[in-house]
Structure 1
């Protein structure tokens, strides 16, 4: 856990915590005089302390003061290991150190109520007038219930302020700072971007209307035609600052406090403990670096004062007959801290900052507001800090807390670079992409996870988990979401007969591949209707050679060059009639290839034909039929659970080839194909199916294909050399409960921290870690059991019995 020393106590500028009756009278008299002289704003718009906001995000605060803001995404900090936290803290210190005396910065974290009505619109699934409308409504209602569990959202932005002669000069300087700051955030693995003027106004609108549901409606053209200012669009209906202890912004009650640090050491958990409260709040940290020479002189002067105080105490002790080496504890402590501070400034690349930490709380009533402040003060006290209300400075405090970049509160604390950087705003990364698939709730923040795999660099996926952890349920839930939201095709390779109910519910095609089945898929199928840019016969030849190699591998160790040449010679002959007249009855079957091999003169051809005889006229002739099922249905389930040991390998290879052809056709139709490969380790046991699967993971991204592999045993999975390519080409990994030995393997390969490992250690069904691109998100997916979809997706014996 990161922590930092907080020296420089003697440079704190503090107000009195309580006003005497005489003080209150003086304040009230000053307010009356200010009103009479016109120094107090008469409108809500005049209260907001900036003059103009430009479209590129530059804000002119005064004639010479300009600011700009960067919006930051959150990252996993609370779940990181101690070593990772130390690295992040060091990098954040470099960002803080970037700001010199000429550039002030303000870190703002805004927590505001989620707009549930907006989420309801976003998550609604429009009816299509078919038999699935009832399911669409059920699923949409479920999403709305889930998103309503996370009542508050938060936004992080960094605002920096400079002085310039005009906006042109400010634009040039702020542009350079923009690039540098975004670069520093990139080194932290934080996605950050410069905020436009519209985004800054929208953020200010949130801050000024924390507990109200007013929509932000604004466009730049309206300023030209109406004569209004941008402030007119963000200001609340009114401000009320008459009471010295709280304020009113519109219908909301608010109060501003400052954080007084009494601790000699503060920890990196302080800020997040405050932000984890359920309620509307703004935490604003203003910091301005002092000139290094001036800071050194100040510290040295204080050291001299402390030395003089020590000498005076020693003289007093000698006169009183006491030991001169016994000094007051406070004097000794201050001396050590000042000495350490001087060393840090001189040798450890530390700067000195004047810091103001303001916290705004808002609620719909005064009672709720006081409860919030009471809770926040309790949290501050546990960190040996105080939350002190800004009596009769509520207006200045609230305006200073806005992410504008101006500080009107003259309460400053001297902190070093590390003392300033200890207030890291990061907690846990989120993924919420409108139009994405629901994957549960973030276990750390409680927010809904919506993720669109199509937006990843490589959408390939792997689902890992022990039996009963919810692997197949997770994929069914994703597939149902995809079916209801998109036009993507869904293909399932079902090795355990787990997807039949869902596919039937979605009106899909179930293909039962078994020796006693009447559902047939022809391994010799070829598609000539789609121009793929490649010769279809050459592509088919690769598959047929893999097929022959598979059935020969046990006895001969694979195909020899002569045998490959014989097969290559036979393929054009076998497809000659179909190419002339491509009708279904001319499609060749394995028996046609067998006959063509029998007609060749080479002894190797006869050996091939003999090996193939078992699959043509023998007991395994199930694959020697033309396709008689609808393989073009939007949802297809290849049920291979009853194929048997001898047919399973060629059967799986046949299904893979069928999936490949379907994906090829969809690619040129501009359609996405999602493929779910259950019991994935079975495909990796044979070199032919493993190579075919690895090829799918290498190439399907360019073919609008999104494969997802499901398996329960990581060790078996890693025994295949092909898995190296598959893991490296997967930006989506959904990890459920893992066995102890598997956890250790995955922790090393995927750099999982000890705290993150707890989410896949003895976890319940539907709980785990989601790897989405470069983000790791702990999730909980408690799908409602009282829904029709749950009934067709569950494979729990107790649910099935019920």
Structure 2
């Protein structure tokens, strides 16, 4: 093994290895599956007869959580009980991931050459082609260097070992030990038995797949790889020269025709109809003719396939059980698993990610029949850094950890019917953001569901209602923020739209009225901008009184409309702010408001969100914003157009907005939703009503199989859309303090102490 990843094998063969990731195949639509299959067929056709290759699927039981990290550091504060519970939940989910099995996929290709110098440029060219071809399929791949290849081989020769791989190229001249010594197990190998072998302390069995079926299923390989067992599935593939393959098949056709003639002669001599031929001969004749047609007229090539399976287990009994299970899967698809009697060593060596085949059992296959072993199942989301927990992959049982900030657009939607776990999922994300980051969180809560959680996180709950003691002054302004936009101009723009909302009418504000309001706004903020007076921001009443001083009759009209909200009965926004708007978590509750007041409250809330995001961005802090009952916010044209602006603009200022709604029809009734959907790369779909499923399938292009995950599904089950990745997920959150903070189910709330 050389440091750049080239391995020299006996017979003048030099190989390299590429590791590749999964893509969504299992949950894809029929059209997408066909496209992936055709792309995989084209990928296989790239390899010519001078380029043998090996597909390896290595399943190993993980003895450490090296691929998963809990990213919530311990801190001595008031949230230790929540932090401890959340970390325990994450560790349990990590331990359950894949039943503790790490799955890896490799492709190893080799070129025959006289020397390393001759092989290296050819291997580099093939490597670039392989990575490029995989990329066209949407598959992420990574060539392995020498140490990484040795680490893979070390894992294969040390099953069940907790011993980490320790090796550096500097060890070779210092110790005199080679790369083989670095990967050899200290307990050695035992290949003395005909049907079993020992590698270290583990038992192993090498078998090959005997293909009996005339047609294969794309589920065969997937079901074997999904087993809760340690195994290595290997496919050594050698392309047959096209002219040689056609010549061979033509020869077989001629042989069959000759046999037909012999059978017909026998029939004539025996005195029966010469068209009556043995059934096997008729079948062989048809198959050979079809095969010849495939090779000559379709984009098919001939491959020689060696399909081996290595099972490994700590005990002989467990090993025999695993082999029996694999054989059961093979029989389901009309195939069989046959033990490699007296060839256990050759079988094991051929399974190593080296590209070296010592098993001389080959099966002729066309491109299509080889490609039916599609190596893809479902895409995984296992990101590091500040990634958040979103449940378990329903197909692979892996933990889902994703970082929304790494998407082109971090904007998100939570869609689900009542009781589907929609707000539970959002609250779980809020707790995760609170524990794993230093970001700020703002929640717009029309129903008051989030208040207990926010209070437990030490946040500020602001109830906006006529009888509430909480007040937000819509005239608050921060003049010291840098940036391209003037804070005063932005505040004037907000107050213009607020007055337009208050004045109402079909045509809204007239040009003269807008001019008067703008003049008054600048006059009201004049002292504050110049640093005069007491430094306190003005109130809405100050704007009202300034409007009364203006000579234009239009000013009187606007002032009269504002009077109700300044000195009238709906004056709750005519007070200085008396809540902590700088708290890390802020929840604005809009419950119990009348129609007029609700529109104005929403508009003032929107301004607060914009202002807070700007301030946080100025201070280098990200902001997560949650808008529950989103369809209510889209009813009014003014707030709807504001949200389109939020979706398009605030993400550039470190904002991660999320909208939640249970009524998809109401949501899609808004003209603005198309702009929102076009700018959304993150979506959580939970159980949907039948009519909503049809709408979503059309709008989002969801396949029939994907729809099954949001049809009559249990709470906490659904589909996660992350960029171009779609993952069916399941979230079984354990009961405890966090669960009680998140749940809104009446039966759970009854059981809570103190309720």
Normalized against structure 2, the TM-score is what?
0.96
Q: How does 1:429-448 map to 2 (within 5 A)?
A: 429-435=379-385, 436-448=387-399
Q: 1:384 Cα shift?
A: 1.3
2:441 alignment partner, SS class: strand
Residue number among 187, 207, 211 corresponding to 2:156 in the alignment: 207
Q: Distance in 1 between matches of 2:324 and 2:291?
A: 34
Q: Shift in Å at residue 226 of structure 1? A: 4.0
User: Which residue of structure 1 aligns with residue 75 of structure 2?
Assistant: 128
**Corresponding residue for 2:45?**
97
Instruction: Find the partner of 1:450 among 383, 401, 408.
Output: 401
1:85 alignment counterpart: 33
Change in 2 beyond 3 A, CA 1:202/1:244: same
Q: Cα gap change, 1:321/1:215 in structure 2, threshold over 3 Å: closer, same or farther?
A: same
Give the number of equivalent residue pairs: 747
Per-residue deviation at 1:416? 0.5
Residue 358 (str. 1) matches residue 305 (str. 2): no
Q: Is the 8 A contact 1:443 1:779 kept in 2?
A: yes
Given that 2:65 and 2:95 are in contact with CA atoms closer than 8 Å, whether structure 1 keeps it comes out as: no
Deviates more, 1:584-593 or 1:285-294: 584-593
Structure-2 separation of matches of 1:801 and 1:557:
51
Aligned with residue 707 of structure 1, among 644, 657, 662 = 657
Alignment of 1:561-580 (within 5 A): 561-580=511-530
1:106 pairs with 2:57: no
In the alignment, the residues of structure 2 paired with residue 397 and residue 415 of structure 1 have an alpha-carbon distance, to the nearest angstrom, of 21
Alpha-carbon contact 1:247-1:255 (below 8 Å) kept: yes
Partner of 1:245: 195
Native 8 Å contact 1:119 1:147 kept in 2: no
Higher mean alpha-carbon deviation, 670-679 vs 524-533, is at 524-533
Matched, 1:749 2:699: yes
Indicate if the aligned counterparts of 2:49 and 2:238 stay in contact, CA closer than 8 A. yes
Q: Which residue of 2 aligns with 1:634?
A: 584
User: Which piece of structure 1 moves more, 450-459 or 358-367?
Assistant: 450-459
Displacement after TM superposition at 1:216 (Å): 2.3
User: Equivalents in 2 of 1:198, 1:727: separation in Å?
Assistant: 45
> What are the Cα deviations for residues 131-181 of structure 1, in whole angstroms up to 9, with x where unaligned?
111221111111112222232231112221112344344332223323322
Give the Cα separation in 1 of the matches to 2:589 and 2:147: 53
Alignment match of 2:128 (pick from 158, 165, 179): 179
Change (3 A) 1:581 1:234: farther
Q: What secondary structure, in the 3-state scheme, does the structure 2 residue paired with 1:377 have?
A: helix
Structure 2 counterparts to residues 671-750 of structure 1, below 5 A: 671-750=621-700
Q: CA deviation at 1:222?
A: 4.0
Deviation digits for residues 254-297 of structure 1 (CA, Å, limit 9, x no counterpart): 11111111111111111112112110111111111111110011
Matches within 5 A, 1:480-629: 480-553=431-504, 555-581=505-531, 586-629=536-579
Residues 119 and 144 in structure 1, CA contact (< 8 A), matched pair in contact too: no
Report deviation, 1:434. Answer: 2.5
Q: Does the C-alpha gap of structure 1 residues 358 and 63 become closer, same or farther in structure 2, counting only changes over 3 Å?
A: closer
Deviations 1:10-29 (A, max 9, x none): xxxxxxxxxxxxxxxxxxxx
TM-score under structure 1 length normalisation: 0.90
Match of 2:276 in 1: 326
CA contact (8 A) 2:73 2:436 kept: no
1:472 aligns with 2:472: no
Is 1:793 the counterpart of 2:751? The answer is: no
* CA positional deviation for 1:525: 1.2
Q: More deviation in 727-736 or 643-652?
A: 643-652
Q: 89, 104, 110: which one pairs with 1:155?
A: 104
Residue 346 of structure 1: aligned partner:
296
Contact 2:631/2:667, CA 8 A, preserved across alignment = yes
1:316 paired to 2:266 = yes
Of residues 6, 9, 13, the one that matches 1:65 is 13
Instruction: Note the C-alpha offset of 1:221.
Output: 4.3
SS in 2 for 1:570: helix
Cα distance between partner residues in 2 of 1:80 and 1:542 = 47
Tell me, yes or no, if the aligned pair for 2:527 and 2:533 is still in contact at 8 Å.
no
CA distance in 2, matches of 1:475, 1:218: 45
Distance in 1 of aligned mates of 2:173 and 2:591: 69
Give CA deviations for 1:162-208 in whole Å, capped at 9, x if unaligned: 12344344332223323322232233222223233333233222222
Partner of 1:25: none
Out of 91, 108, 113, which is 1:144 matched to?
A: 91
Rounded to whole Å, the distance in 2 between the matches of 1:543 and 1:269 is 58
Partner of 1:651: 601
What corresponds to 1:289 in structure 2? 239
Higher mean displacement: 496-505 or 608-617: 608-617
Deviation at 1:413, TM superposition (A): 0.6
Classify 1:528/1:199 alpha carbon distance in 2 versus 1 (closer, same or farther; 3 Å): farther
Instruction: Please give the alpha-carbon distance, in whole angstroms, between the structure 2 residues aligned to 1:453 and 1:236.
Output: 42
Question: Runs of 5+ in structure 1 lacking a partner?
Answer: 1-51
CA RMSD of aligned residues (A): 1.8
Instruction: Determine the C-alpha separation between the residues in 2 that align with 1:175 and 1:505.
Output: 57
Q: Tell whether 2:410 aligns with 1:462.
A: no
| Number of the residue aligned with 2:113 | 164
Q: Is the 8 Å Cα contact of residues 190 and 199 (structure 2) preserved in structure 1?
A: yes
8 Å CA contact 2:3, 2:169 repeated in 1: no
CA distance in 2, matches of 1:314, 1:490: 85
Q: CA contact under 8 A between 1:482 and 1:488: conserved in structure 2?
A: yes
8 Å contact 2:500–2:509 — kept in the other structure?
A: yes
8 Å Cα contact 1:532/1:664 also seen in 2: no
Aligned 1:223-242 pairs, distance under 5 A:
223=172, 225-237=174-186, 238-242=188-192
Query: What's the counterpart of residue 408 of structure 1?
Result: 358
Contact 1:211/1:280, CA 8 A, preserved across alignment: no
Matched, 1:395 2:345: yes
What SS class does the counterpart of residue 420 from structure 2 fall into? coil
Provide the rounded CA distance (Å) in 1 between the counterparts of 2:454 and 2:410.
23
